[in-house]
Each structure stands twice: as structure tokens, then as C-alpha cells.
Amino acid sequence: MGACLTAAWADPFGAPPDAKHAWGVHDDNRPPVKKIAALPGQVPSDAKVLFDGTPASIAANWCDSAGKPTKWVVDEAGDLISVRGAGYIFT
């Protein structure tokens, strides 16, 4: 029982700052997160669009498990469709 209580109360406020993290968990001095706002219907400026409904975006950003161009296709509606035997796709 004593070991459980010791573990529970060892660090109730999260990890302290260290070499990889400038602020501790729940640190009131941590700067606020920068929010990237986009206009409705637009992509945030810091985003990378992996699929935009075009075959060109598939060729540019997606491959199969061997690193070769994927066999998945884009239909007339702009949907990404798996083809039998095409396997997984990766970015």
C-alpha cells in the first residue's frame, strides 16, 4: 500500500522541464499555442495537402509498401479508391 501511495504522489504535476522540453507539464509560464487560422474553405498556411482529389496529388504524395507509385485510383467524383491487390498506401 505504501508503494502505491508513493508512486501516486511522486510527481502530481507532471514532468519537470528537461533538456528536450523547455517547460514542465502544466507550467503557467508556457507560451500559448500558436493557432493557424484559415479562411473557410482554405487550407492553413502550415499544412501539407496530401490528397486534393486529383490523380496528381496521389502521384506526388503516395506510394506502395515498396516505395513505388500506388495502384490506387481517383474516380470521377475525386474519391480515392483502392484497387484489388494494390495493397496499402503510404505517404
Instruction: List per-block mean pLDDT (blocks of 10 residues) for the chain, which spans 91 residues.
Output: 53 70 81 77 85 93 94 93 93 91
> Given this model, what pLDDT does residue 5 score?
52
Given a contact cutoff of 8 angstroms between Cβ atoms, the answer to whether 90 and 65 are in contact is yes
Q: Say which amino acid occupies 87.
A: G
> Given this model, what pLDDT does residue 4 score?
53
Grid cell at residue 83: 484497387
> Given this model, what pLDDT does residue 77 score?
92
Q: Say which amino acid occupies 36.
A: I
Q: How far is CA 87 from the centre of its chain?
A: 22
* Angstrom distance (rounded) from CA 72 to CA 54: 12
Which residues of the chain form beta strands (DSSP E)? 73-74, 80-81
